[in-house]
A and B are shown apart, each in its own frame.
Chain A
Amino acid sequence: MSAKTDRLPSASGKRRGSSDGSATLLAHGEPMVWLTGGGLALAVVMIVGLLGLVVYQGIFTFLPVPVVRSELHDGRVHMGEVTRRESYRPAASVIDSMPEAIQERARAEVAATDGWAKRRLVRTGNFELSGEHFDWVSDYEVARDRFPEWALVIERVTWGRFYGEPVAFEIEHRLEKATSAEAQAFAGLLHPAAGRELRFRVGGVLLAPEAVDQAAQVDACIEIWRDPADVWRQFGKYHGDVRKRLERRQRLEKHDTGKVSHRSEAARLELREAEIAAEKAGQRHGPDSPRTAEARRRLEEQRVAQAAVDAEGLGEFQRIRGEIQALNQENARYRMVMKTTSTAETPVSLSDIVRAYPANQLSLGDKIGIYFSRWGEFLADDPREANMEGGVWPAIFGTVVMTLIMSMLVVPFGVLAALYLREYAKAGPMISAVRIAINNLAGVPSIVFGVFGLGFFCYLVGGSIDQLFFEAKLPSPTYGTGGIMWASFTLALLTLPVVIVATEEALSAVPSSMREGSYACGASKWQTIKRIVLPRAMPGIMTGMILAMARGAGEVAPLMLVGAVKLAPELPIDSVFPFLHPERSFMHLGFHIFDLGFQSQNSEAAKPMVFTTTLLLILIVAGLNLFAVMIRNRLRKRFQSSAF
């Protein structure tokens, strides 16, 4: 290489290298253009590829697909959504194990495609019936594919999806051991409806009203629709109300019950505090001193108060339980009876159904509606079914709150440190060592920060706080365990080098002419920093913050140690005093991805959710960054000079 460069046109004026093609090429720098451009292209391809994969997989997760009913040669039937197709080489033994009658054809089919066969992964659902969520079906096994008109996809609160065809919709009216005449009278009062049959339940058997014996005691009057179209119409009519009752029940369970238990917990803590105080007074002042007596008297008062709160709480609790029970009973009246591939008929309670749709007769508008309704659920709801279904709202909230707290912590600290390093410290080996240490801090594995955060923040600092302020709650920790505050502190530590380095760069980029101008006006060092240097360096500091946010929001490993959990029952900010609960553990999208992808029972179902959650995390990080970039650009505009 150097030999060639030596032959570049020399100063002597004699162009020795002009006949050598490669030398001219090097001289013009053409290869370097290709090399650098190629490097950039490679980087772009990798980034676009990764983003493309995530976006492609994430975007189509929620799109409804048709339900296929595949009848196999061996008589088995699969019904469900096809999630994936692939080619594979079936082993000979697989085909040998098939029934004789169809072996021949399967073998011929596979041989025709050079030993390759296609298979599809069918999401068959109905886990409680079949014990499987998914089934592989090879094309050579399939005798016939059908798309049943009324195949319903039902997303349930528990047990995952359900696929089946509706055979009946039932509304039960409970009658307390009514006579046949009373039941007839009741039935007469019901609204007449098209396609409806009436049945009376007598001792667990359904009978037509005419067939009921005069002396029989009727337990219930049941309205039944049997035509699939009618069933679907009735479902649409009642499902909304059932969902509303369900939401009300959830609110009662979570909010109202929570309030009651919060009150009784507070009373219990006060009692415990009084106990501790009485104990301490006894130790310090002797058992007979007036102070001990006073403490004991207070303890007795607390006991009485706590008993009152408990009694009141119990009453309130029972009232809530009663209301919940009434709601459950009302919801249990509505059910859909479904025909599946494995059983004749299975009842599905409407209260179990989150969403249902006839997959094979959706118009484009319906599909889009379901798609966005699923996104809405994903963004706004709590997770269910071990995080595999439902939404990720707590994780979104936790991620954003943690990132914001982290930024609020790391930026002031980083800026102060960088100010000292750049403005006040005298250059020397000490400062160089500090700088090197800060840069190396950026290379420490993040899990190490997690371990440090757990040991220092959670156990040492948090433990001390518990000892001092939350003694009554011990041995259960308050601050002495992972929580959103400690997670933010840990990540702040992790991202500190980024902010310090970026701020130092920004400070050194402030023209010295501006500082001199300020000094010449008689400004002190701090006045110059505050009024000239910092505002001018603000865009650069914002850049540091943006980098820190991107790094912090995407970090998972340390969070697993200092407070991110699989399922957090409560958000770190809510309506219970004092509204901000920095000690609470929280959910985080990054951790959620890890949990879905590697800890879930049903990995096939979780996979699309992994992509969707990843897409969401990327969008949130991009959104936070965009917000910061917009602020930075506004700041920059202020400092841009139009004159030179």
Chain B
Amino acid sequence: MMTTQTGSLEKPVDVASPAATGSRLQAIARGEAFSPAIHAELEREQSVLDVDDFNLWYGAAQALHNINMKVPAGKVTSMIGPSGCGKSTLLRSVNRLNDLIDCVRVKGDMRINGQTIYHKSVDVIELRKRMGMVFQKSNPFPMSIYENVVYPLRIDGERNKAVLDEVCERSLRGAALWNEVKDRLQESALGMSGGQQQRLCIARAISAEPEVLLMDEPCSALDPIATNHIEDLIHELKGEYTILIVTHNMQQAARVSDYTAFMYLGRLIEYGPTATLFQKPILRETLDYVTGRFG
């Protein structure tokens, strides 16, 4: 049951020794190479997104080191790790949002359904249309609720009212928002509550039928009730959409996700089924982190 990715392990993994934990983290901090522990269950999953030897630098500082991971189709995959571990950077690399930052440089590649993401020939705009993204802070546009939801279609030049109406209703229903806003679709989206705004952003993200839904700490700015709503929504969206979610909250990762990746200092440390990772992880460090002993 406990296996590691074939041939990528350079050092034997020592689960038992606490001293080893410290030394391994120190080794990572020193910049030594590290091979992540990938659980065998992932081998059996069909992947939508593949990350191949991905490295990323902000100027001279390397933020991601040799990330290799698969995101299984139709499942919720969460990424956890202490602040600054690179999980958000990795997420934003998937739809190349990091291109907007001048000093970012990457090496390696990602593939979405087999098609490369990082290549000169790739049209970034077309690429982003295949993904939806939900941000940490809800960012509804300064326009009506309706226009917010159909924004991805509008920029595609869709003018057919029937199509737009249909997409709007489907997306809002998908985001469990339809019943609350169906009577005020033409009102400004900025008049909604914080939780509603975040669900509106989810509706917008799924309106173009994305192949992957990227969520960057979608609940961190919300109160517990709104958080519950969003988590329920993630459960409902599961199966229909592949979701990659970054979260700071380990309970949330445990509640919503099927698979969890643990990252530390720009490296993938351990990646496996959520239940296993939280209860019986391969690595001592993972256990320490999920039980709150460090991080």
Residues of A within 8 A of B (CB): 426, 511, 513-524, 527, 531-532, 535-536, 638-644
**What distance in Å separates the Cβ of A535 from its nearest Cβ neighbour in chain B?**
6
Our count of residue pairs bridging A and B at CB distance below 8 angstroms stands at 88
Once the chains are docked, how many angstroms separate the CA of A513 from the CA of B129?
18
**What distance in Å separates the Cβ of A517 from its nearest Cβ neighbour in chain B?**
4
Which residues on the A side are within 8 Å of B196 (C-beta)? 643
6 contacts between A and B (CB under 8 A): A511-B139, A520-B95, A521-B155, A523-B125, A531-B141, A642-B193
**In the complex, are the beta carbons of B141 and A522 less than 8 A apart?**
no
Once the chains are docked, how many angstroms separate the CA of A643 from the CA of B200?
13
- Candidates A426, A513, A524; contact of B135 at CB < 8 Å: A513
Once the chains are docked, how many angstroms separate the CA of A208 from the CA of B190?
90
Which residues on the B side are within 8 Å of A641 (C-beta)? 140, 190-191
**What distance in Å separates the Cβ of A393 from its nearest Cβ neighbour in chain B?**
42
Contacts of B80-103 to chain A: CB distance below 8 A: 95, 97, 100, 102
Once the chains are docked, how many angstroms separate the CA of A261 from the CA of B176?
75
Which residues on the B side are within 8 Å of A516 (C-beta)? 97, 100, 135, 139
B142 within 8 A of A: yes
Once the chains are docked, how many angstroms separate the CA of A482 from the CA of B214?
61
**In the complex, are the beta carbons of B142 and A638 less than 8 A apart?**
yes
Which residues on the B side are within 8 Å of A426 (C-beta)? 102
Interface 1/0 per residue, B105-140 and A, CB below 8 Å: 000000000000000000001101101110101111
B194 within 8 A of A: yes
Q: Which residue of chain A lies nearest to B128 when distances are taken between CB atoms in the complex?
A: A522
- Candidates A511, A520, A535, A644; contact of B133 at CB < 8 Å: A520
**In the complex, are the beta carbons of B155 and A519 less than 8 A apart?**
no
**In the complex, are the beta carbons of A644 and B194 less than 8 A apart?**
yes
**In the complex, are the beta carbons of A638 and B188 less than 8 A apart?**
yes
Q: Which residue of chain B lies nearest to A641 when distances are taken between CB atoms in the complex?
A: B190
Which residues on the A side are within 8 Å of B133 (C-beta)? 517, 520
Which residues on the A side are within 8 Å of B97 (C-beta)? 516, 519-520
Once the chains are docked, how many angstroms separate the CA of A426 from the CA of B103?
12
**What distance in Å separates the Cβ of A121 from its nearest Cβ neighbour in chain B?**
61
Interface of A is mostly: helix
**What distance in Å separates the Cβ of A638 from its nearest Cβ neighbour in chain B?**
6
Further contacts, 19 of them, CB under 8 A, given A535-B143, A643-B194: A514-B142, A515-B100, A516-B97, A516-B139, A517-B133, A519-B128, A520-B95, A521-B128, A521-B204, A521-B205, A522-B125, A522-B126, A522-B156, A524-B125, A531-B151, A535-B142, A638-B190, A642-B190, A642-B192
B201 within 8 A of A: yes
**What distance in Å separates the Cβ of B155 from its nearest Cβ neighbour in chain A?**
5
Q: Which residue of chain B lies nearest to A536 when distances are taken between CB atoms in the complex?
A: B142
Which residues on the B side are within 8 Å of A532 (C-beta)? 141-142
If A527-B155, A642-B190, A644-B194 touch, whether A522 touches B142 (CB-CB below 8 Å) is no
Which residues on the A side are within 8 Å of B156 (C-beta)? 522
**In the complex, are the beta carbons of A643 and B193 less than 8 A apart?**
yes
Q: Which residue of chain A lies nearest to B214 when distances are taken between CB atoms in the complex?
A: A520
**In the complex, are the beta carbons of B142 and A521 less than 8 A apart?**
no
Tally of contact residues, B, Cβ under 8 A: 37
**What distance in Å separates the Cβ of B277 from its nearest Cβ neighbour in chain A?**
28
Q: Which residue of chain A lies nearest to B131 when distances are taken between CB atoms in the complex?
A: A520
Which of B155, B201, B208 is the most central at the interface, judged by chain A CB atoms within 10 Å of its CB? B155
- Candidates A513, A522, A535; contact of B152 at CB < 8 Å: A522
If A638-B188, A640-B190, A641-B190 touch, whether A519 touches B100 (CB-CB below 8 Å) is yes
**In the complex, are the beta carbons of B155 and A522 less than 8 A apart?**
yes
**In the complex, are the beta carbons of B142 and A520 less than 8 A apart?**
no
**In the complex, are the beta carbons of A643 and B201 less than 8 A apart?**
no
Contacts of B142-193 to chain A: CB distance below 8 A: 142-143, 151-152, 154-156, 188, 190-193
**What distance in Å separates the Cβ of A256 from its nearest Cβ neighbour in chain B?**
54
**In the complex, are the beta carbons of B139 and A513 less than 8 A apart?**
yes
Once the chains are docked, how many angstroms separate the CA of A642 from the CA of B138?
13
Which residues on the A side are within 8 Å of B191 (C-beta)? 641-643
If A524-B125, A531-B155 touch, whether A517 touches B188 (CB-CB below 8 Å) is no
B77 within 8 A of A: no
**In the complex, are the beta carbons of A639 and B155 less than 8 A apart?**
no
B197 within 8 A of A: yes
**In the complex, are the beta carbons of B151 and A521 less than 8 A apart?**
yes
Which residues on the A side are within 8 Å of B190 (C-beta)? 638-643
Which residues on the A side are within 8 Å of B204 (C-beta)? 517, 521
**What distance in Å separates the Cβ of B201 from its nearest Cβ neighbour in chain A?**
7
Which residues on the B side are within 8 Å of A514 (C-beta)? 139, 141-142
Which residues on the A side are within 8 Å of B194 (C-beta)? 643-644
Q: Which residue of chain A lies nearest to B152 when distances are taken between CB atoms in the complex?
A: A521
If A523-B125, A523-B155, A644-B194 touch, whether A639 touches B142 (CB-CB below 8 Å) is yes
- Candidates B132, B154, B188; contact of A520 at CB < 8 Å: B132
Q: Which residue of chain B lies nearest to A635 when distances are taken between CB atoms in the complex?
A: B142
- Candidates B128, B137, B208; contact of A513 at CB < 8 Å: B137
Which residues on the A side are within 8 Å of B214 (C-beta)? 520
Once the chains are docked, how many angstroms separate the CA of A426 from the CA of B128?
23
Q: Which residue of chain B lies nearest to A523 when distances are taken between CB atoms in the complex?
A: B155
Q: Which residue of chain B lies nearest to A520 when distances are taken between CB atoms in the complex?
A: B133
**What distance in Å separates the Cβ of A560 from its nearest Cβ neighbour in chain B?**
44
Once the chains are docked, how many angstroms separate the CA of A643 from the CA of B221?
11
Which residues on the A side are within 8 Å of B141 (C-beta)? 514, 517-518, 531-532
Which residues on the B side are within 8 Å of A521 (C-beta)? 128-129, 132, 151-152, 155, 204-205, 208
**What distance in Å separates the Cβ of B101 from its nearest Cβ neighbour in chain A?**
10
Which residues on the B side are within 8 Å of A536 (C-beta)? 142
Once the chains are docked, how many angstroms separate the CA of A514 from the CA of B196?
17
Which of A519, A524, A531, A643 is the most central at the interface, judged by chain B CB atoms within 10 Å of its CB? A643
Contacts of B189-233 to chain A: CB distance below 8 A: 190-194, 196-197, 201, 204-205, 208, 214
Contacts of B255-282 to chain A: CB distance below 8 A: none
Once the chains are docked, how many angstroms separate the CA of A521 from the CA of B125?
9
- Candidates B138, B192, B193, B208; contact of A522 at CB < 8 Å: B208
Q: Which residue of chain A lies nearest to B188 when distances are taken between CB atoms in the complex?
A: A638
Q: Which residue of chain B lies nearest to A510 when distances are taken between CB atoms in the complex?
A: B142
Once the chains are docked, how many angstroms separate the CA of A149 from the CA of B195?
81
Once the chains are docked, how many angstroms separate the CA of A426 from the CA of B100?
12
Which residues on the B side are within 8 Å of A643 (C-beta)? 138, 190-194, 196-197
**What distance in Å separates the Cβ of A417 from its nearest Cβ neighbour in chain B?**
22
Which residues on the B side are within 8 Å of A639 (C-beta)? 142, 190
**What distance in Å separates the Cβ of A3 from its nearest Cβ neighbour in chain B?**
43
**What distance in Å separates the Cβ of B144 from its nearest Cβ neighbour in chain A?**
10
Which residues on the A side are within 8 Å of B143 (C-beta)? 531, 535
Which residues on the B side are within 8 Å of A517 (C-beta)? 133, 135, 139, 141, 201, 204
Which residues on the B side are within 8 Å of A515 (C-beta)? 100
Q: Which residue of chain B lies nearest to A643 when distances are taken between CB atoms in the complex?
A: B194
Which residues on the B side are within 8 Å of A524 (C-beta)? 125, 155
Once the chains are docked, how many angstroms separate the CA of A632 from the CA of B276?
57
**What distance in Å separates the Cβ of A491 from its nearest Cβ neighbour in chain B?**
32
Once the chains are docked, how many angstroms separate the CA of A639 from the CA of B188?
8
Once the chains are docked, how many angstroms separate the CA of A536 from the CA of B139?
13
Once the chains are docked, how many angstroms separate the CA of A93 from the CA of B75?
110
Which residues on the A side are within 8 Å of B140 (C-beta)? 641
Which residues on the A side are within 8 Å of B151 (C-beta)? 518, 521, 523, 531
Q: Which residue of chain B lies nearest to A527 when distances are taken between CB atoms in the complex?
A: B155
Which residues on the A side are within 8 Å of B128 (C-beta)? 519-522
Once the chains are docked, how many angstroms separate the CA of A519 from the CA of B135?
12
Once the chains are docked, how many angstroms separate the CA of A638 from the CA of B143?
8
Which of A426, A513, A639, A641 is the most central at the interface, judged by chain B CB atoms within 10 Å of its CB? A641
Once the chains are docked, how many angstroms separate the CA of A517 from the CA of B138?
9
**What distance in Å separates the Cβ of B131 from its nearest Cβ neighbour in chain A?**
7
Once the chains are docked, how many angstroms separate the CA of A639 from the CA of B144?
10
Once the chains are docked, how many angstroms separate the CA of A385 from the CA of B135?
71
Once the chains are docked, how many angstroms separate the CA of A416 from the CA of B100?
21
